[in-house]
Amino acid sequence: MTIPLADLVVILPELIVVGAACLLLALAPITPSTKKDWLAWMSVATLVVCFIVTMNGMGERVYAFSELVVVDGYASFWKLLLYVVSGMIVLLSIGYLKEERIDLAEFYGFVLLSLTGMMIMVSGADLLVVYLGIELMSISLYVMAGFKRFEAKSMESSAKYFILGAFSSGILLYGISLIFGAAGSTRLVEIAAAVNARGLNDSLVLMALMLLIVGFGFKIAAVPFHMWTPDVYQGAPTSVTAFMAVASKAASFGAFLRVMLEGFGGVKPNWTGLILGLCILTLILGNLVAIVQTNVKRMLAYSSIAHAGYALIGVVVAGWIGTEAGASSQGVASMMLYLAIYSFMTLGAFSIVAILRRGGLEGEDLDDFTGLAKRHKVVAFVMLLFMVSLAGIPPTAGFIGKFYLFMAAVNAGLTWLAVVGLIFAAVSAFYYLRVVMVMYMREPTSDQELETRLALSPAATVVLACAVAGVVILGLYPGPLVSFTSSAALP
């Protein structure tokens, strides 16, 4: 059997990334320790090339490998976002890994492997392909979460992530096998046809649907499938945490929504209610538990759960039998926009945690931020921007994200859901502003002045600058991104 060249061209970005990943992994052992940065710069270069390739390949919907893989505006949007996020993670890691004394060059290979998995997820038009992507992403992340081999927390994080990840993959696979029983195929197109034919009350489809939602629920960390998140996020190296909180979440949402809309679009009433429940639970628990956290990393973990709740509003709207045509695609677009904005602000906040050092440790405790505004004005102000944006207060990008989500919700007739979302946005302001309060309104103690310092490498400065630019520019001038997401949204 020969593989047609046209199909390979469709997955060219994936091929480039996976090729680069293999190359990096092969080069890692033979690279002298002084030249390890070169591998990081190589991976950034790879991402830049892929960015250009994907940009050029944007256009009509293209299937490849007999409808196993699809490349459309939707997939391209996620891929572009993932390139940017991965690039920022790599840049952040250069300095961070050195600080943590875990600067193994394999790291960058795993980032790219994981990225390949994510790209396959958002491009998968077949449940098994999506599953393959999820596994590739997850297994790389398990390794990365345990990168601090000498630290118990990191090992715990990795082990927890692995067990629960494997468990959720199992559930997902079980769902896939059930739907295969119902449809005779795992291709989304054929699943859609079979689901339509079987109607709303088919128990096999319902069962499969439920298992799929649970499986994806783990990946996007929606309540009640979020249990792993705080421990894993807190224990993992911060740049990995940021990667998990941003890239893996975005890719999971991308794949989740495609499976739901393209595979189960015919039985929307069956899943919107379920997801609505998840959405509200996630909003409530994520925001309320974040209030009592005193560790910033853990607080950000709960905040990322809460933000999954907001993004789920978009999913609910996408599946809601709206009163108006276009309401569904507005939901998809608003979710895409929200996750793009979320990526910048969350990545920014985690970057600050990563560069803040107390002795040889990370400054992840709330106390480590005490009086930061006096010691490092610019960094404190940047953190203030991220916190304000996460709370959704204008003129930052966080407001624009929430605004479009709630627009979509009201447009679909879900005004009450917008009210719930906004009430919890007000709640979230409390814990985000506490960080601001600690930075600006508490005096730094004298010994902390000696202890807390910034490990701000030039590359990390670039990351922060990108995140700030994202938060500010998307807040003041969101037009281009808005039109991009609405043109790239699934119908």
Partner 1 sequence: MAVPSGGFPWITLIVLLPLVGVAGILAAKEEMAKWVTFGVSSLVFLVSLPLWAMFDDATPAMQFVEKHHWIASPSINYAVGVDGISLPLVLMTTFLTPLCVLVSWTAVETRVKEFMISLLVMETATVGVFVALDFVLFYVFWETMLIPMYLLIGVWGGPNRVYAAMKFFLYTLAGSVLLLVAIIVLYVYAGERSFDVLTLSHAVYSPSLQAWVFWAFFVAFAVKVPMFPFHTWLPDAHVEAPTAGSVVLASVLLKLGTYGFLRFSLPMLPDATQRFTTVVMVLSVVAIIYGAYMAFAQADLKRLIAYSSVSHMGFVTLGIFALNAQGIEGAILQMVNHGITTGALFLCVGMIYERTHSREIVDNSGLAKPMPIYATFLVIFGLSSVGLPGMNGFVGEFFVLVGTFTWSKVAATLAALGVILAAVYILWMLQRVVYGVPAQHVASKLYDLNWREIGTLVPLVVLVFWIGLYPKPFMDVMHASVEKLIHQDVKVMLVEAEPSSFPPTPVTPDVIASAAEAETR
* The binder of partner 1 chosen from 155, 189, 422, 462 (CB under 8 A): 422
What is the footprint of partner 1 within residues 449-488 (CB under 8 A)? Answer: 478-479, 482-483, 486
Give every CB contact of residue 140 below 8 A, 6+ residues apart in sequence. 110, 111, 113, 114, 117
CA angle 463, 469, 475 (to 5 degrees): 140
* The binder of partner 1 chosen from 41, 403, 444, 454 (CB under 8 A): 403
- Give the DSSP H/E element, type plus range, for residue 14: helix 12-27
Give every CB contact of residue 83 below 8 A, 6+ residues apart in sequence. 47, 50, 51, 54, 115
Report, in Å, the least distance between residue 343 CB and partner 1. 20
- Phi/psi-derived region of residue 130, left when phi > 0, alpha when psi is between -120 and 50, beta in every other case: alpha
Q: Mark 404-429 as b/e (b = at least 16 C-beta within 10 Å).
A: bbbebbbbbebeebbebbeebbebbb
437 touching partner 1, by CB under 8 A: yes
What is the footprint of partner 1 within residues 338-377 (CB under 8 A)? Answer: 373-374, 377
393 touching partner 1, by CB under 8 A: yes
Report, in Å, the least distance between residue 406 CB and partner 1. 6
Residue 213 vs 380, nearer CB to partner 1: 380
Single out the segment in contact with partner 1 by CB under 8 A; choices: 35-43, 224-232, 289-297, 413-421.
Answer: 413-421
- Phi/psi-derived region of residue 338, left when phi > 0, alpha when psi is between -120 and 50, beta in every other case: alpha
- DSSP, collapsed to helix, strand or coil, labels residue 444 as coil
Phi and psi (nearest 5°) for 357? -120, 140
288 touching partner 1, by CB under 8 A: no
* The binder of partner 1 chosen from 118, 122, 353, 388 (CB under 8 A): 388
What is the footprint of partner 1 within residues 150-209 (CB under 8 A)? Answer: none
Alpha carbon distance 16, 93 (integer Å) = 21
Report, in Å, the least distance between residue 329 CB and partner 1. 12
Q: How many CA atoms lie within 13 A of 432 on its CB side?
A: 27
Rounded alpha-carbon distances, angstroms, from residue 325 to 257, 258, 321, 322, 408: 18, 19, 9, 7, 12
Single out the segment in contact with partner 1 by CB under 8 A; choices: 55-63, 145-153, 357-365, 427-435.
Answer: 427-435
Residue 197 vs 441, nearer CB to partner 1: 441
Residue 150 vs 443, nearer CB to partner 1: 443
Question: What is the greatest pairwise CA distance in the chain?
Answer: 71
Alpha carbon distance 385, 348 (integer Å) = 9
395 touching partner 1, by CB under 8 A: yes
* The binder of partner 1 chosen from 52, 200, 441, 469 (CB under 8 A): 441
* The binder of partner 1 chosen from 177, 196, 415, 445 (CB under 8 A): 415
| Count, residues near partner 1 per rule CB under 8 A | 33
Residue 149 vs 377, nearer CB to partner 1: 377
273's tokens: 């209610």
Alpha carbon distance 196, 312 (integer Å) = 24
- DSSP, collapsed to helix, strand or coil, labels residue 491 as coil
Residue 407 vs 455, nearer CB to partner 1: 407
Quickly count: other Cβ atoms within 10 Å of residue 182's Cβ: 20
Report, in Å, the least distance between residue 432 CB and partner 1. 11
* The binder of partner 1 chosen from 163, 291, 292, 423 (CB under 8 A): 423
Report, in Å, the least distance between residue 379 CB and partner 1. 14
Single out the segment in contact with partner 1 by CB under 8 A; choices: 61-69, 93-101, 274-282, 419-427.
Answer: 419-427
With residues binned 3-state (H G I as helix, E B as strand, rest as coil), the percentages for the chain, rounded to 5, are: 80, 5, 15
325 touching partner 1, by CB under 8 A: no
Q: In DSSP terms, which residues pair with 69 in a beta bridge?
A: 64, 124
The DSSP bridge pattern shows strands 361-362 and 356-358 to be: antiparallel
406 touching partner 1, by CB under 8 A: yes
Report, in Å, the least distance between residue 417 CB and partner 1. 10
Residue 69 vs 306, nearer CB to partner 1: 306
Report, in Å, the least distance between residue 17 CB and partner 1. 33
Residue 20 vs 408, nearer CB to partner 1: 408
Report, in Å, the least distance between residue 340 CB and partner 1. 15
Query: Of 95, 102, 91, 108, which Cα lies nearest the Cα of 23?
Result: 108
Report, in Å, the least distance between residue 327 CB and partner 1. 10
Q: Distance from CA of residue 463 to its chain's centroid?
A: 17
Report, in Å, the least distance between residue 439 CB and partner 1. 10
Chain contacts with partner 1 (rule: CB under 8 A): 373-374, 377, 384, 388, 393-395, 399, 403, 406-407, 410-411, 415, 418-419, 422-423, 425-426, 429-430, 433, 436-437, 440-441, 478-479, 482-483, 486
